[in-house]
Amino acid sequence: MVPMVKDDPMFSVKGRVAVVTGGMGQLGAGYAAMLSERGARVAVFDITTQTEFADAAFERGLENGRIACYKVDITDHEAVKAATEAVAERWEEPHILINNAALDSPPDAPAGEAGPFETYPVSSFEKVMDVNVKGTLICCQVIGEKMAGKGRGAIINISSTYGILSPCQDIYDFRRRNGETFFKPVAYSVSKSAILNLTRYLATYWAKKGVRVNTLTLAGVFNNQPREFLDAYCARIPMGRMAHAHELCGAVLFLASDASSYMTGSNMIVDGGWSAW
């Protein structure tokens, strides 16, 4: 974990309550640990209460009560509402919402998920959109309403470079060398593009009620992907490598804290230069 100054009031989240969706995943667990280490109380919303990404900081948060895990299906409005009420009863109504939960097809996805666009299953499209767009919208509805009622709040919607640029299909050539058909599926790109305008809509909708809404757009994060994929992907990044999960925490802290107090409706890109080509 990259050290950060904990007592800088500009970047302070001490005493604030944060909700991190998908908080049992690689990035979500890192965001939760970082915020709890800086004095925030963090509610993890996920469909599971188990994670393989819990580091020492995450475990400390669980032990000292600054991280609490809630089993929540974010596509279920009533489930999100019930969990948010439980958080408010335990601590107080959230100050920070990180909409991190998402579905994507990995680089080693099965053929049925990664065939030609013309035959891409509509059911797969609906599943991705349900979590990535509908789930984000529901969390914004439920938690954003609470924030607006209090006259404060910061919402961070996580997007992807594949939401602002088309996927580079060439980096998946390693899947095609033996005659296999493979394309990066369309649903993830469409869903992450939708996040950008959801952010803009809510930023203007809640601006006068003290709720800031911004997008954080990320490129690929290292997670032991296939070597052939890593070689092709990293060759396209000016910095020559994928991000490490901890390198994204500074951007999250900036957007969650008063350091970004005059920033709303914006898209902050952390991508190693991918979108600069």
Copy the structure tokens of residue 245: 């999960």
Residue 160 is assigned to a structural domain of this protein:
yes
Specify the pLDDT at position 2.
Answer: 47
- For residue 102, give Cα distances in angstroms to 27, 31, 110, 181: 11, 15, 18, 25
The answer to whether position 251 is within a domain reads yes
Distance CA 144, CA 97 (A): 8
Q: Is the residue at 98 inside a domain?
A: yes
CA 126 to chain centre: 19
Please list the ranges in the chain whose pLDDT falls under 50. 2-3, 5
Q: pLDDT at position 176, please? A: 83
Closest CA to 23 of 205, 188, 187, 156: 156
The total number of structural domains in the chain stands at 1
pLDDT on residue 6: 57
CATH of the domain at 134: 3.40.50.720
> Is residue 235 situated within a structural domain?
no
| Beta-bridge mates of residue 70 | 45
**Residues linked to residue 212 through DSSP beta bridges, in sequence order:** 154
Identify the domain containing residue 159 by its residue range. 9-167+186-226+242-271
Look at residue 1 and tell me if it is in a domain: no
In tens, the pLDDT along 73-89 reads 999 999 999 999 999 99
143: in domain: yes
**Stretch (H or E) spanning 217:** strand 211-218
Q: Is residue 233 part of a domain?
A: no
Does a structural domain hold residue 177?
Answer: no
Q: In whole angstroms, what is the distance from residue 251 CA to residue 270 CA?
A: 8
